[in-house]
Amino acid sequence: MLAQSMFEKIWRRHVVVDRDDGYALIYIDRHLMHDGSGAGFARLRERGLPLRRSDRAAATPDHYVPSRAGPQTDPHFAQTLEQMRRNTAAAHVTMFGLGDIRQGIAHVVGPEQGLTQPGLTLVCGDSHTSTHGALGALAFGIGSSEVFHVMATQCLWQRKPKAMRISVEGSLASGVTAKDVILAIIAKIGAAGAVGHVVEYAGSAIRSLSIEGRLTVCNMSIEAGARAGMIAPDDTTIAYLQGRPFAPAGENWDKAVAFWRSLRSDEEATFDREVTLKAEDIAPMVTWGTSPEDALPITGRIPDPASESDTLRKEAMRRALDYMGLVPGTPLQELAVDHVFIGSCTNSRIEDLRAAASVVKGRKARVSSWVVAGSGLIKQQAEAEGINKIFQDAGFEWREPGCSMCVGMNGDIGQPGQRIASTSNRNFVGRQGRGVRTHLMSPAMAAAAAICGHFSDVRRLTA
């Protein structure tokens, strides 16, 4: 038999109907729902169709939940949350609702609960569903019509995407994290660099990442345009899953492990595209513009559109610098920040909070700074470790789990003109509020910005 990539193996296992025009009906093993999935339920009702597999769905509210303690007081958002509670209860969907310690951002909760597993197909009505590929699942985001399709049929019509492998070889320098790796990858291949492809991340630097780091990398696959990102399951993956509430147990555990170990790409597998990066070349990264591809090492300077030859790119840079209020040639480390946000499905897990806390410890934040854990369980764990205390002593706000200021749909937005150091995944125009200037970076770098009041090289703070 021909050598197969991991993506190929998982794809083939899920083909229900193969049409001769290249389209296939693909079975979806898991469907994660959040508080924006209401349209799908409404369409089921309109068409008089039941939710086909309530046992394969799980739900948690994240976008509209308040990040201050207490109930949602905005009547409109409260109604959205109540509608979600009713929809999931009526359809018998497992729900980690507000007040449940397991509630959090869907892409944090799925892996944490062991719902995300190697070899599965997993979808959610959210583009960052690519996160779950960190455990070796084929996971991708879909729009609300496809959410409805999955609800009604547990399947999706898909044309098979192309396969791409991005290898990061070598070892990461101290102070360089998974976030820096993915920002460096996107800077290299561009925001459309992986459109139409499923990316497998490989190489020794990727293998040496913890599951949390891998989740960060796969999370931002969509920012390179990829359909999905994935990493082969290994001992790290298996150790992570063991004992999680929805992971297999007992005699099924051994069976599952054997299956998971069979998924990695064959030695001889070929890819439509290959990209390689050297881990040693990657430094702590910061974005300067309004696309995640606009990322530079912290030691860099704001680029000059005049030195760009591509006219479209030149114009895009000008617009970005104008929006961001930046002057070419300015060292990144001289940029003062107004606010710091540590959170989002990219970087709100316990290791992220630990990394930020280790920078903050014994110091004071110079600007308003927030920490928003990705789930209630992470928040609880951080409190058990005294991490909240480190942040609070430094003047950070320690808030309730959810998407919060990553997108501001719950009202957590910045002021026009504010410069925010953010551990989230999108620096789009207006993403954190109209006129807000977002700079993406790792939790340790965001913590360093909070302490210094300007962007700074975390390697100098921790040396």
Where along the sequence are the contacts to another protein (CB under 8 A)?
16-17, 19, 21-23, 25, 27, 29, 36, 39, 47, 49, 56, 64, 76-77, 80, 119-120, 125-127, 141-146, 148-149, 152-155, 157, 159, 161, 191-192, 195-196, 222, 225, 227, 248-249, 252, 255-256, 259, 291, 293, 312-313, 315-316, 319, 407-409, 413, 416, 426, 428-431, 434-435
Q: How far apart are CA 39 and CA 37, in angstroms?
A: 6
316 binds, among another protein, ligand SF4, none (CB under 5 to 8 A by kind): another protein
**333 vs 422, which CB is nearer to ligand SF4?**
422
CA nearest 370: which of 274, 260, 427, 447? 447
113, 102 in Cβ contact below 8 A?
yes
Q: Which does 149 bind (CB under 5 to 8 A by kind): ligand SF4, another protein, none?
A: another protein
Residue ranges binding ligand SF4 (CB under 6 A):
62-63, 105, 107, 126, 128, 344-345, 403, 406-407, 424-425
Q: How far is the CB of 134 from another protein (least distance, A)?
A: 19
Nearer to ligand SF4, 126 or 457 (CB): 126
- In the bound complex, what is the minimum distance in angstroms from residue 185's beta carbon to ligand SF4? 18
Among ligand SF4, another protein, none, what binds residue 286 when CB lies within 5 to 8 Å by partner kind? Answer: none
344 binds, among ligand SF4, another protein, none (CB under 5 to 8 A by kind): ligand SF4
The CB-of-3 to another protein minimum distance in angstroms stands at: 22
Least CB distance to another protein at residue 238 (A): 14
Selection from another protein, ligand SF4, none that 62 binds (CB < 5 to 8 A by kind) is ligand SF4
Of 222, 236, 239, 233, give the one whose Cα is nearest residue 107: 222
Identify residue 287 by its one-letter amino acid code: T
Angle in degrees, 0-180, between the axes of helices 211-219 and 106-113, rounded to the nearest 10: 150
Minimal CA–CA distance to 130: which of 29, 230, 209, 26?
230
- Cα 106 to Cα 403: distance, rounded to the nearest angstrom: 9
- The owner of tokens 């980690």 is 96
Sheet of strand 368-372: strand arrangement: 397-399, 368-372, 339-342, 419-422, 437-440
Q: How far apart are CA 373 and CA 442, in angstroms?
A: 15
CB closer to ligand SF4, 123 vs 406: 406
Closest Cα to residue 230, out of 250, 214, 246? Answer: 214
Do the bridges between strand 15-18 and strand 437-440 make them parallel or antiparallel, or are there none, so unpaired?
A: unpaired
**What token pair was written down for 448?**
């360093």
Between 202 and 345, CB nearer to ligand SF4: 345
In eight-state DSSP terms, residue 63 is S
Residue 105 contact among another protein, ligand SF4, none, beta carbon within 5 to 8 Å by kind = ligand SF4
**Which C-beta is closer to another protein: that of 314 or that of 361?**
314
Closer residue to ligand SF4, CB minimum distance, 88 or 432: 432
Question: Cβ(165)–Cβ(202) under 8 Å?
Answer: yes
Nearer to another protein, 206 or 413 (CB): 413
When CB distances are held under 5 to 8 angstroms depending on the partner's kind, the choice from another protein, ligand SF4, none that residue 27 binds is: another protein
Whether 181 contacts 278, CB under 8 Å: no
| Cβ–Cβ < 8 Å for 71, 181 | no
Q: For residues 98 and 356, which CB has a smaller minimum distance to another protein in the complex? A: 98
Q: Which does 159 bind (CB under 5 to 8 A by kind): another protein, ligand SF4, none?
A: another protein
Phi and psi torsions of 252, nearest 5°: -65, -25
